[in-house]
Amino acid sequence: EGNNAGWRTDPQLSGKAGCMGDIGTHAWHLCEYVTGLKVVELCAELNTFVPGRPIDDDGVAMMRMEEGVKALLSASQVAVGEANNINIRVYGEKGGIQWVQEHPNQLFLKKGNSPEEVMHIGGNHPYLGKNTRWNIRTPGGHPEGFIEAFANIYRNFALTVKAKMKKAPPSADILDFPDVYDGVRGMQFIETVVESGWSDGPKWIKWRE
């Protein structure tokens, strides 16, 4: 293993969580960000497949969220053949949506009694919300995704600081970035998922604020 993998899998350097602390936290935060709901309880199974590795390199968590919503999180560093493939699926009473990071400019809309629809980002499509249009940086047809997402976070943070310096209230659009509270909740996720995942048998753990 290279140096990067070395420190990430050393609990003395990276902490008590491996895969779930590295990429599982991003999946959890996406779940809360996309739904607008908080996780209140979870039950996890953590696995270590690489011989001699002291922390998890694979895991799954069933999560109970506010308003009775259920979520399933799966994260793995040993899924051979996969790259950084993030899949988000949300299902409701009338249909579902799916977003795939490897096709970032498309949103798949699934309905029970009609063919699947593909919605495209870019341009000024009427189905795009105000916040979505605010975060689009290129015309339709140009690939846009991972790097631009970081650029949007940095821009929104900088504009918020600028507004504060002018003693002006920042708009809802520019407040769209993770804050200290999100970071603290990320640490709470790690503590909760590790406690549940390494317990004897499936164990539901309530979220500890």
- Which tens digit of pLDDT belongs to each residue from 126-184? 888 888 888 888 888 888 889 999 999 999 999 999 999 999 999 999 999 999 999 99
State the pTM of this model. 0.89
First to last CA, the chain: 36
pLDDT at 124 over 80: no
Q: From CA 155, how far away is CA 29, in angstroms rounded?
A: 20
> Residue 35: left (phi > 0), alpha (psi -120 to 50), or beta?
alpha
For residue 139, the domain's CATH number is: 3.30.360.10
Domain that holds residue 117: 3-204
Is residue 209 situated within a structural domain? Answer: no
Structural domains counted in the chain: 1
Contact at 8 Å (CB) between 44 and 84?
no
Cα dihedral: 66, 72, 78, 80 (round 10) = -140
- Calculate mean pLDDT across residues 73-87: 94
pLDDT at 37: 98
Q: Taking a C-beta distance cutoff of 8 angstroms, is the pair 143, 105 a contact? A: yes
Q: pLDDT tier at 2 (50, 70, 90 boundaries)?
A: low
